């Protein structure tokens, strides 16, 4: 039996649609981990590699504050006092942001949800199908952040041991003065880690129960962590 051109064409279309369906498993991800886990870096790398937007909660809040919206002003009051804004305010801002952006290509959330209550709220808006947890030892975080300095001009980050500047105390990019970030002091780091374990880490159990948790060993260096993320995401069928 001979297959005519029309038959070939139909067959071709059939396989083509199946393949493109496989390619478009939409990533609806969140990424979480403590300060110093490389969460921002990995989120950005993923966003570039997969060509999907990263929604940084911090950026969203800062934009809201800059626009002086009602919610922005409210958040600012908490930020000024060094406090976290309450869930209702944070959720409202995120809900509004979600309406503004096209989500059909997929997305990664960074910095939200910060606790299980926020995760429950997010689930009502959109179903998350991948929760990437960057797991790192407290000692490693302390080690990383203690030796970290930042250029006061161009904001480049240095690490005294792993990525030192050419001249001590001076930015290799722009010559600016290197300073310690106020929140990189040991006692502040310890406080933040405690808050992370108490508040944010329970997200792991929450998303594990939903069957979407992906745990990554973030004690490794940036390229290894990223390789691990990509490998595991491929196995799960998010990357064809
Ligand atoms: Zn600089």
Tell whether the model's pLDDT for residue 153 goes beyond 70.
yes
Q: What is the pLDDT of residues 54-75, one digit of tens each?
A: 999 989 999 999 999 999 999 9
Q: Is the dihedral of CA 58, 59, 64, 66 positive or negative?
A: positive
Contacts of 152 (CB under 8 A, 6+ apart): 176, 177, 178, 179
According to the model, what pLDDT value does residue 157 have? 86
Element (H, E) at 60: helix 57-66
CA of 193 from ligand 1 middle (Å) equals 28
For 31-50+115-123+130-234, CATH gives 3.40.50.300
Tell whether the model's pLDDT for residue 166 goes beyond 90.
yes
98 Cα distance to chain centroid: 16
Tell whether the model's pLDDT for residue 17 goes beyond 90.
no
Secondary structure letter of residue 37 according to DSSP:
S
According to the model, what pLDDT value does residue 188 have? 87
CA of 197 from ligand 1 middle (Å) equals 33
Strand partners, 214: 132
CA of 221 from ligand 1 middle (Å) equals 23
According to the model, what pLDDT value does residue 112 have? 96
CA of 36 from ligand 1 middle (Å) equals 20
According to the model, what pLDDT value does residue 185 have? 83
Residues 99-126, mean pLDDT to the nearest whole number: 93
54 Cα distance to chain centroid: 7
Q: Note the pTM of the prediction, 2 decimals.
A: 0.83
Instruction: Please spell the DSSP secondary structure of 142-207, one letter per residue.
Output: HHHHHTEEEETTT--EEETTTB--SSTTB-TTT-PBEE--GGGSHHHHHHHHHHIIIIITTHHHHH
CA of 173 from ligand 1 middle (Å) equals 5
Secondary structure letter of residue 25 according to DSSP:
-
Residues 25-44, mean pLDDT to the nearest whole number: 92
CA of 49 from ligand 1 middle (Å) equals 26
CA of 112 from ligand 1 middle (Å) equals 29
Please tell me the number of Cα atoms within 13 Å of 194 on its side-chain side.
6
73, 109, 150, 200 from 31: Cα distances, Å: 27, 6, 24, 11
CA of 178 from ligand 1 middle (Å) equals 8
What is the domain partition of the chain in residue ranges?
31-50+115-123+130-234, 54-101
Tell whether the model's pLDDT for residue 24 goes beyond 60.
no
User: Which residues carry out catalysis?
Assistant: 39, 114, 148, 181, 192
3 state SS of 51? coil
**Strand ranges of the sheet holding 178-179, from the earlier edge strand across to the other edge:** 157-159, 148-151, 178-179
| Contact present, 119 and 203 (Cβ < 8 Å) | yes
What is the pLDDT of the chain when averaged over all its residues?
89
Tell whether the model's pLDDT for residue 107 goes beyond 90.
yes
| Contact present, 144 and 222 (Cβ < 8 Å) | no
Q: What is the pLDDT of residues 186-231, one digit of tens each?
A: 888 999 999 999 999 999 999 999 999 999 999 998 899 999 999 9
Tell whether the model's pLDDT for residue 2 goes beyond 60.
no
According to the model, what pLDDT value does residue 148 have? 87
Q: Categorize the per-residue pLDDT at 105 as very low, low, confident or very high, splitting at 50, 70 and 90.
A: confident
């Amino acid at each position: 039996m001979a297959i005519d051109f029309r038959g070939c064409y139909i067959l071709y279309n059939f396989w083509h649609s199946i393949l493109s369906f496989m390619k478009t498993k939409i990533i609806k991800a969140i990424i979480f981990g403590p300060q110093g886990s490389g969460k921002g870096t990995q989120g950005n790398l993923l966003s570039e590699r997969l060509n999907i937007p990263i929604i940084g909660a911090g950026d969203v809040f800062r934009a809201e504050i800059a626009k002086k919206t009602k919610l922005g002003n409210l958040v600012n009051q908490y930020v000024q006092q060094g406090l976290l804004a309450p869930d209702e305010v944070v959720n409202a801002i995120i809900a509004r942001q979600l309406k503004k952006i096209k989500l059909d290509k997929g997305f990664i959330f960074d910095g939200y949800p910060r606790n299980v209550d926020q995760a429950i709220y997010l689930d009502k808006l959109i179903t998350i199908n991948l929760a990437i947890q960057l797991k790192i030892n407290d000692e490693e975080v302390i080690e990383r952040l203690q030796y970290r300095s930042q250029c006061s001009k161009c904001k480049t980050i240095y690490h005294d041991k792993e990525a030192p500047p050419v001249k001590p105390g001076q930015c290799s990019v722009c010559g600016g003065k290197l300073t310690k970030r106020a929140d990189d002091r040991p006692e502040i780091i310890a406080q933040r880690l405690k808050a992370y374990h108490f508040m944010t880490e329970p997200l792991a159990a929450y998303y594990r129960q939903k069957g979407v948790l992906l745990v990554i060993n973030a004690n490794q260096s940036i390229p290894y962590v990223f390789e691990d993320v990509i490998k595991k995401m491929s196995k799960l069928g998010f990357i064809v």
